[in-house]
Amino acid sequence: VMSSTYEELSEVSTLEWHYARAQIVLQYKDQKFWPPPLNVVHVMYRATRAALSLVKPSLVRDHEVTTGFKIQLTQARELQTQARELQGLKACHAAHVEDKEKEAAVANLHELVKNSKDESRVQYESLYSHMQHLTAAKNESRVLLENLYSHMQQLTNRIDLITSAASGSASHAQTKAAPDLPEQSLSLAI
């Protein structure tokens, strides 16, 4: 219900708006250029101008459009004017050339910056890959050192066991006969 009411109001308001706009346009077109008391001014101006043109025709010619220059320049003045124009043209051309050179310099700088960015990116990538290789080599050497350390720990533990076994068997061997001692030490070493 609300949407249909809104649509009806929208259609009616649109129609009223178009009607009001058309009325304003018609009023504007029907209206005279000058309001009623001032429309006589235009007629009076035209009548005065026509009367003056009959009395003194030179007054009307002042407003006529003429082609060309009214003032004739002397030869020296004309040369001076041409020299100024030539000087201005040279200055304008020099400014144009300078602008072109500045644009070219800016373009070259942009190209150099772009190239240096590319070079620095390549250098960074190569340094990064080299760092990764060094890190991998360091990790490998660390693993090798840890393995070597664990093997050395195992060897020291074995040596400790052998020395403790040898010291225990030596005390036991003193209680036994002397000829059995070299065989026991030989078997422990193996």
Domain count, the chain: 1
Domain membership of residue 17 (yes or no) is: yes
Domain membership of residue 4 (yes or no) is: yes
Domain membership of residue 14 (yes or no) is: yes
pLDDT in tens, 31-49: 666 566 666 777 788 888 8
Domain membership of residue 100 (yes or no) is: no
Q: Can you tell me the mean pLDDT for 118-132? A: 90
pLDDT in tens, 8-35: 888 889 999 998 998 888 887 776 665 6
Domain membership of residue 114 (yes or no) is: no
pTM over 0.75: no
Domain membership of residue 13 (yes or no) is: yes
Question: CB–CB of 34/42 below 8 Å?
Answer: yes
Percent of the chain scored above 90 by pLDDT?
38
Domain membership of residue 30 (yes or no) is: yes
Residue numbers of the domain that contains 31 = 1-57
- Pinpoint the alpha helices (H) of 31-74: 39-55, 58-61
Domain membership of residue 171 (yes or no) is: no
HSE-CB of 137 using CA atoms within 13 angstroms? 6
